[in-house]
Amino acid sequence: MYKITTIGGDGIGPEVMEGALTVLESLDINFDFIEAEAGKKCLEKNGKTIPEETIKSAKKSDATLFGAITTVSNEKSPIIALRKNLDVYGNLRPVKSFEGISCLYPNLDFYIVRENTEGLYSEIEYCSEDERTAVSHRVITKKSSEKIIDFTFKQAIENKREKVTCVHKANVLKKTDGLFKEIFYKVAKKYPNIKTEDYYVDAMAMYLVQRPEDFDYIVTTNLFGDILSDEAAGLVGGLGLAPSGNIGDKYGLFEPVHGSAPDIAGRNISNPIAMILSSGMMLDFLNEKYYANQIRIAIENVLKKRKIATPDLGGTNKTIELANAVVDELKKL
């Protein structure tokens, strides 16, 4: 029996969560799902965007599933709080094309690994007294950089990939990204069979559009990873298909790359595939590799057939209909 904390959140978060839980419940695995709150609705109800009980529940669980939240200005981000509290330093974001989905690149299969606990998202910001200057700290530590880079090389080896690419801006951010780049090549020495290279983030933004098939694993700092992974999602059919895992030494937190999509929320037309793929990554983390693969195969089959599709994929189906199509496909495997 796996204890799983589920945080639906705001907007389309609860819709896509329902889709993922429908798929998980159809598997021959016992789950105890514990619902917890975070986000804008939670703030209105409890006075906090993330109550202590939610963090406690996540810490007591085998893994956590997170839908999406709507950001509230002047409040700290609950997902960043959760990532930091659980010390899930590795944000693994697969970039994969699917047959049947029209996109810029039909044959992509690579990963972006984003450092998740520091960098420009350290949330250390202040204004000068006259409010004419605002400053944000970009914290890069040797310890976190070593951990994320080592994590990436280990993932590359486990997944039988050839190369790890480090992305930074060390020509301008000489101290912070200078350190990140230096640590990259130091850690790389432990993995002589993996090829290495590094690029400046601005050039990388272009290479991702020009020749994304050249990459296996990309490792980078927090903000660059956030931006490049949305760009990469755009190469393979959009945010509705982009999952992610936040992985640390102890905890795992799995969520789609997308946000609460207020433009389509409440109509039950959001695409649940990113959330279902994220729950597949959770099964990998729980070492339920067989079922994780079954989920991925079922999704590939559903997308290939093009019979059931939400509007973002060019169809007219509802969120739950697409999730049910995955369940039906799983039964056939």
Number of residues binding to ligand NAI, judged by CB under 6 A: 21
Nearest distance from C-beta of residue 163 to ligand NAI, angstroms: 28
Give CA–CA dist 146/143, Å, rounded: 5
The reply on whether position 274 binds ligand NAI by CB under 6 A is yes
The residue among 115 and 226 lying less far from Mg ion, judged by its C-beta, is: 226
Residue 332: active-site member: no
Nearest distance from C-beta of residue 79 to ligand NAI, angstroms: 5
Residue 300 burial (CB < 10 Å; 0-12/13-18/19+)? middle
Give CA–CA dist 260/232, Å, rounded: 19
Q: Which of 4, 16, 188, 233 binds ligand NAI (CB under 6 A)?
A: 16
When CB distances are held under 5 to 8 angstroms depending on the partner's kind, the choice from Mg ion, ligand NAI, none that residue 226 binds is: Mg ion
Task: Identify the helix (H) or strand (E) that includes residue 161.
Answer: none
Nearest distance from C-beta of residue 181 to ligand NAI, angstroms: 27
The answer for residues whose C-beta is within 8 angstroms of residue 211's C-beta and 6 or more apart is none
Asked whether the beta carbons of 273 and 322 are under 8 A apart, the reply is: yes
The reply on whether position 235 binds ligand NAI by CB under 6 A is no
Nearest distance from C-beta of residue 41 to ligand NAI, angstroms: 12
Residue 226: active-site member: yes
DSSP 159: T
Residue 202: active-site member: yes
Give CA–CA dist 135/31, Å, rounded: 45
Asked whether the beta carbons of 306 and 1 are under 8 A apart, the reply is: no
The residue among 93 and 318 lying less far from Mg ion, judged by its C-beta, is: 93
In the window 202-231, what residues touch Mg ion (CB under 5 A)? 226
- In this structure, which long-range contacts are made by residues 320-323, counting pairs with CB atoms below 8 Å and at least 24 apart in sequence? 320/18, 320/19, 320/22, 320/268, 320/272, 322/19, 322/271, 322/272, 322/273, 323/18, 323/19, 323/20, 323/22, 323/23, 323/272, 323/276
Q: Which residue number is nearest to ligand NAI in terms of Cβ?
A: 259
Nearest distance from C-beta of residue 178 to ligand NAI, angstroms: 29
When CB distances are held under 5 to 8 angstroms depending on the partner's kind, the choice from ligand NAI, Mg ion, none that residue 262 binds is: ligand NAI
- Site map (CB under 6 A) of ligand NAI, residues 52-71, x = contact: ----------------xxxx
Number of residues binding to Mg ion, judged by CB under 5 A: 1
Among residues 62, 87, 230, 312, the one annotated as catalytic is: 230
Give CA–CA dist 20/319, Å, rounded: 10
Give CA–CA dist 328/166, Å, rounded: 41
Binding positions for ligand NAI, rule: CB under 6 A? 12, 16, 68-71, 79, 239-240, 255, 258-264, 270-271, 274, 312
Binding positions for Mg ion, rule: CB under 5 A? 226
As annotated, the active-site residues are: 121, 169, 202, 226, 230
